[in-house]
């Protein structure tokens, strides 16, 4: 048995069209059971065409229906649901066919919940979850197996923690936050004073304040503030293995791809898109609507929206070696070039 | 007491020679109790010489025996086991002297195993392990403390999960896979549609399909597919803190060093060697037998086997600063150089 | 209710001055309840001025007292505690006002502690902790929820493990080590021999030896040695998501910022400062007192103390593209420049 979508729900195309305010061309009674790709979907699956370059696939698709724009509809051999933004429409309907486990409310007997904590009836607490004193939980929260919620944490409504998430003391998560496995929020910031013969740790007494609708990947770490809080805005999306240091501030709806690292007290604007493995130095500011390409290193403020980059282009190692060694001569090359120019004039 | 190998087994040199099809020069009754380095091994330890540059150590070794090639044997003051590939022979015999805990079959009473799951008698389930419904476990699996195995996962024979591994719903692992602590397989891919005023999450309904004999380090994350599966081939070896995004495909026997990041839908061939902290962009293809040096950024297809690189050479910060600033003038330098050449001709 | 410091202790300025050997100017009976920033601290909070650039904030602060140097004291409108190094003094007193949970000695009933382990009365063992056979625990250790301590581990006095830490078999931690959540110490090093048609795993029989006063962040991985131990010196501080491969040696009081990756058998000196996301190749040596700027790639030995770097400067993507493409012409540019110079002379 292939593990896939479809066991969950059956919906007619008419019903899907209604939900998405899409114009249906085809049989409204046809039933959709799962999601598919345009190449491999069968007649019980819904798919989408977002990139016109895939029109060749559209012309041959055997899907039950295709979400597409008006101008692509005529190329489809199967029913179409016409919308302005097919990928966004697909995103919205996709949850009806999700395969993630649906977890009933209730507290597993192996969970260790402090007596001071009031657990709403709509909340699911999985096996081996530990909840310390003074924690507040909103309606509909789902805390999966082995999560740890430290003293005084505040979780909004419908927060989902996947297994083995650690929330240190004093972490606040807004409504509908989704945190993937083994992510750690609220560990001590990397604050040490140099004492001549070694390092002296500085107590990190700030918390972490995370807005509503924040999505956080697996294996990510978000440190608590040194004194004030580390702050993540509403609707921020964070991928796996991202490191957010103490007192970082991230504006609303900014996206951080996998393996981004942000050093202490950096301030990032809203609607930014930070590419994979980007590094951002401490104490700098990045304005709204900045896009950083993968592996860019940011060491100074960015005050103008736009796209930025810093990585080298890849090459075969043999020629890369010859060129890379000249990097150390760049300033010399520049001055020798100027000297030649000066002589000539 | 130093924690080390040797408590486990005693083997004569004759027995080791037989297992490795090695030619023994020395006393076949001498007993080996542990593994050692060529510098520090004592008479109860087996060691190897793979790199001829270490011959000086060979000449002075006090090991119980040395695995080496024919042409090095005469330099050894102690018994030798002559083989073609000493490091490979060492690898094969090393498991006889491993110090990892040997865990007896059985289910710890604190484990929470869904009633639908049939646990073979040869399987070890450690404390606080959680196994959800519909999971299948092959003979000889070892699930150490605190692992979480989601709905419908399929584990082949002799799979080992070290503590705190998380397998989301619908993850499949082939025979003899070895997954280190706190690794997360099957978390949602980073799939979001932009809705003008924010991000809309896209349900990730694909699974993760991992072949036989795959070795995965600690703190690694491998995301589930958006629709189709994320796929890892047979014999792939993956180090710590590697990020594999949704719908990545990795060919058989490819090696990924620590901290590699691979973006969504990238396709990597077989027998590749991906160096530490390499970044690979989404939706690109890398052919078989490609080697990438550490920290290389790959943003386009690689269609030819060979070695590739992109990082800058390191320098003292003072001269690095002078040169790095000229990077921004490179195109200008190039054009000024061409102008001088043109004038001259 | 904001989660913050202050519930824990009240101290008079006179008492704080005494502890820090500071000279107090102001009312010794004034009571401090918490820590604050110089901008936002109120009269019950202690703050500090380390950077003279913030003197403007000092002149307007409403803190209960300010730790500062002699020459700044006259600018403060509130009591001052005069010390030579305000940040160091702040570090030392900060723990009196920490907000981290204080955990009473005792073993939680859900913990699974092997019968062979002697737990001192001063030790705290949280829920779902698993301790295997042959483990030794020093006085005052704190093992928070869900930690796993493998066979034969040795923990010194007052070691603190935050939730979900995994210690594999044979890991040794010195006195007062502090290890944050989901960190994994002692997983197998990435050791494989190539067997022509695939990889053969090499048993990793070394341990991990960590000195006294080592601080390790969240989501970090430190691999066990192949034969000898991986070794971390006294007073080393390690941030989040750092990867330390097998047989790495790190000297005393070296600092590793977030996302650093160190490949196998690299040897790093004492009092080094390794910047964020730095990559260090295997089998190289770095001497004492080396500072590496963020994202530097080190592929050869460093034999001279000082500061080193390698990353490219960031630029707008449009001009970056034009310049980056010329990187592949650098050697060509160099030779064409030399030709022009030669002709001229």
Return d(Cα A138, Cα A119) in angstroms, integer. 8
Average pLDDT over residues B137-165: 98
Which of A127, A135, A153, A184 to substitute to test the interface with C, most C CBs within 10 Å? A184
Antiparallel, parallel or unpaired: β A315-316 and A306-309: unpaired
Contact B103, B124 (CB under 8 A): yes
Q: What is the DSSP letter of A328?
A: T
Contacts of A261 in chain C (CB under 8 A): 241, 258-259, 276-277
Return d(Cα A176, Cα C318) in angstroms, integer. 38
**pLDDT exceeds 90 at position C111:** yes
Nearest 5°: phi and psi at C142? -125, 115
With CA atoms as reference, the chain A residue closest to B328 would be A310
> Is A243 in Cβ contact with C241 (below 8 Å)?
yes
With CA atoms as reference, the chain B residue closest to A88 would be B193
Return d(Cα C301, Cα C108) in angstroms, integer. 49
Measured in angstroms, the CA of B335 and the nearest CA of chain A are apart by: 11
State in Å, rounded, how far the first CA of chain A is from the last one: 78
Q: How many CB atoms lie within 10 A of CB C1?
A: 7
**Residue A8: per-residue pLDDT:** 57
Contact A281, A262 (CB under 8 A): no
Return d(Cα A262, Cα A285) in angstroms, integer. 11
Confidence of residue B92 (pLDDT cuts 50, 70, 90): very high
Contact A10, A32 (CB under 8 A): yes
Task: Return the sign of the alpha-carbon dihedral for residues C73, C74, C80, C81.
Answer: positive
Mean pLDDT (chain B) is 95
Measured in angstroms, the CA of C231 and the nearest CA of chain A are apart by: 18
The SS3 of residue A326 is helix
**pLDDT exceeds 50 at position A16:** yes
B205, two tokens = 């309904």
Average pLDDT over residues A291-295: 97
**C-alpha pair distances (Å), C338 with each of B339, C184, C212, C332:** 15, 53, 56, 10
**C-alpha pair distances (Å), B292 with each of A89, B271, B276, B282, C9:** 39, 12, 9, 16, 55
**Residue B5: per-residue pLDDT:** 40
Which of A5-14, B149-158, C49-58 has the highest average model confidence (pLDDT)? B149-158
Nearest to C21 by CA among C92, C72, C97: C92
Confidence of residue B281 (pLDDT cuts 50, 70, 90): very high
**C-alpha pair distances (Å), B184 with each of A186, B21, C128, C130:** 20, 40, 20, 20
With CA atoms as reference, the chain C residue closest to A290 would be C316
Helix and strand numbers, DSSP H then E, in chain A: 5, 39
ipTM of the complex: 0.96
Return d(Cα C84, Cα C76) in angstroms, integer. 16
**Residue A7: per-residue pLDDT:** 47
Q: Pick from A221, A243, A293: which is nearest to C317 by CB? A: A293
| Chain C, window 123-182: residues with a beta carbon less than 8 angstroms from a chain B beta carbon | 128, 130, 132, 146, 148, 150-152, 154, 164, 166, 168-170, 172, 182
Return d(Cα A148, Cα A166) in angstroms, integer. 5
Confidence of residue B279 (pLDDT cuts 50, 70, 90): very high
Antiparallel, parallel or unpaired: β C23-25 and C80-82: antiparallel
Which chains have at least 3 CB atom pairs separated by less than 8 Å from chain B?
A: A, C
Return d(Cα C45, Cα C49) in angstroms, integer. 14
A132, two tokens = 């310390």
Task: Return the sign of the alpha-carbon dihedral for residues A103, A104, A105, A107.
Answer: negative
Provide, for chain B, the percentages of residues in helix, strand and coil under a 3-state DSSP scheme, each rounded to the nearest 5: 20, 25, 55
B102, two tokens = 């040997």
Confidence of residue B9 (pLDDT cuts 50, 70, 90): confident
Return d(Cα A177, Cα A156) in angstroms, integer. 8
Return d(Cα B92, Cα A338) in angstroms, integer. 61
For chain A, give the number of residues: 345
Confidence of residue C6 (pLDDT cuts 50, 70, 90): very low
Mean pLDDT (chain A) is 95
Catalytic annotation, residues of A: 246
Contact B293, B309 (CB under 8 A): yes
**pLDDT exceeds 90 at position C1:** no
Q: Which residues contact B15 (CB under 8 A, 6 or more apart)?
A: none
More confident residue, B312 or A69: A69
**pLDDT exceeds 70 at position B341:** yes
**Residue B4: per-residue pLDDT:** 41
C116, two tokens = 């062979």
Does B53 reach chain A within 8 Å, measured CB to CB?
Answer: no
Q: What is the DSSP letter of A302?
A: B
**Residue B312: per-residue pLDDT:** 87
**pLDDT exceeds 60 at position C3:** no
């Amino acid at each position: 048995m292939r593990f896939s979508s479809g066991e969950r729900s059956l919906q007619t195309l008419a019903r899907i069209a209604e939900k998405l305010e899409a114009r249906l061309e085809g049989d409204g009674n046809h039933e959709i059971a799962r999601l598919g790709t345009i190449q491999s979907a069968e007649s019980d699956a819904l798919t989408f065409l977002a990139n016109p370059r895939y029109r060749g696939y559209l012309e041959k698709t055997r899907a039950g229906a295709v979400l597409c724009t008006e101008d692509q509809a005529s190329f489809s051999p199967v029913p179409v649901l016409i919308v302005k933004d097919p990928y966004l429409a697909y995103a919205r309907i996709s949850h009806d066919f999700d395969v993630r486990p649906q977890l009933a409310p209730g507290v597993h007997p192996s969970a260790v919940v402090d007596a001071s904590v009031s657990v709403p009836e709509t909340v699911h607490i999985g096996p081996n979850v530990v909840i310390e004193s003074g924690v507040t939980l909103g309606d509909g929260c789902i805390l999966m197996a082995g999560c740890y919620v430290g003293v005084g944490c505040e979780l909004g409504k419908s927060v989902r923690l996947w297994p083995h998430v650690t929330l240190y003391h004093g972490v606040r998560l807004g409504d509908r936050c989704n945190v993937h496995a083994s992510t750690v929020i609220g560990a001590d910031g990397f604050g040490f004073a140099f004492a001549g013969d070694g390092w002296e740790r500085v107590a990190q007494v700030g918390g972490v304040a995370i807005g509503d609708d924040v999505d956080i990947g697996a294996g990510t770490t978000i440190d608590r503030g040194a004194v004030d809080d580390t702050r993540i805005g509403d609707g921020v999306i964070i991928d796996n293995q991202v490191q957010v240091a103490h007192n970082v501030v991230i504006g609303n709806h900014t996206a951080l791809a996998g393996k981004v690292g942000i050093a202490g007290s950096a301030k990032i604007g809203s609607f930014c898109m930070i590419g994979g493995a980007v590094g951002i130095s401490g104490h700098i500011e990045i304005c709204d609507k900045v896009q950083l390409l993968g592996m860019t290193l940011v060491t100074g403020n960015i005050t103008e929206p736009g796209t930025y980059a810093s990585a080298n282009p890849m090459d075969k190692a043999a020629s890369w070696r010859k060129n890379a060694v000249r990097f150390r001569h760049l300033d010399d090359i520049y001055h020798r070039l100027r000297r030649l120019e000066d002589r000539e004039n």
